Chains A and B, each alone.
Chain A
């Protein structure tokens, strides 16, 4: 079965640079979620989208922005990168019903040097 695809798998950036992470949800899933997971930490909810509109916002820094496109893929844009942004970034997709499970990708590991 098709899964959530994230790209790139690994990304190395320097401080103050920008980065773009991409997420391709499972076909027919119209809801996308982004999470940040620092070393030894639990996943932190950043933002979610439903039908190409921002649905909910978590602890996403103002330096980050995201959007969902007409084909339902999503991109997380990160600017003015800081060392503390080094983390695993997970994307998940689901159907919109509250009892629908989230399906996660394998993540993008961002390293900021």
Chain B
């Protein structure tokens, strides 16, 4: 499986934008980039996913580098409820229904 690398932790001030980076230098052409987050004592929650083009939804934006070797999850205005561990995961047709979490980024939002 292609691997992802994320910083262990990040901090952000409330109501400021947050850019969460993910490196995936061995990504294959058919890997989708998924982002999930996990709030304390809850199950992981889907945030966004993309293949090649940047994506926007009500929760966040996903910016994908032109060479696809990195991506950035953008929270436009961080709130205290955004404090969570954020996971960047690659999913490929060849990996079937295996979906592995790596070591995500723990985001702290400062009031």
Contact = CB atoms under 8 A, between A and B. Distances in A.
Contact of B44 (A49, A55, A58, A104): A104
Contacts of A44: 101
A48 B44 contact: no
Given A42-B101, A106-B42, 11 more contacts: A42-B102, A45-B100, A48-B98, A48-B99, A58-B98, A92-B99, A98-B32, A98-B93, A101-B46, A104-B44, A105-B43
A31 interface: yes
Given A56-B97, A98-B92, A42 B49 contact: no
A56 B93 CA distance: 13
Interface residues of B, number: 27
Contact of A50 (B45, B85, B97, B101): B97
13 contacts: A31-B97, A42-B87, A42-B104, A45-B99, A50-B97, A56-B95, A58-B100, A98-B30, A99-B49, A99-B51, A102-B44, A104-B43, A104-B45
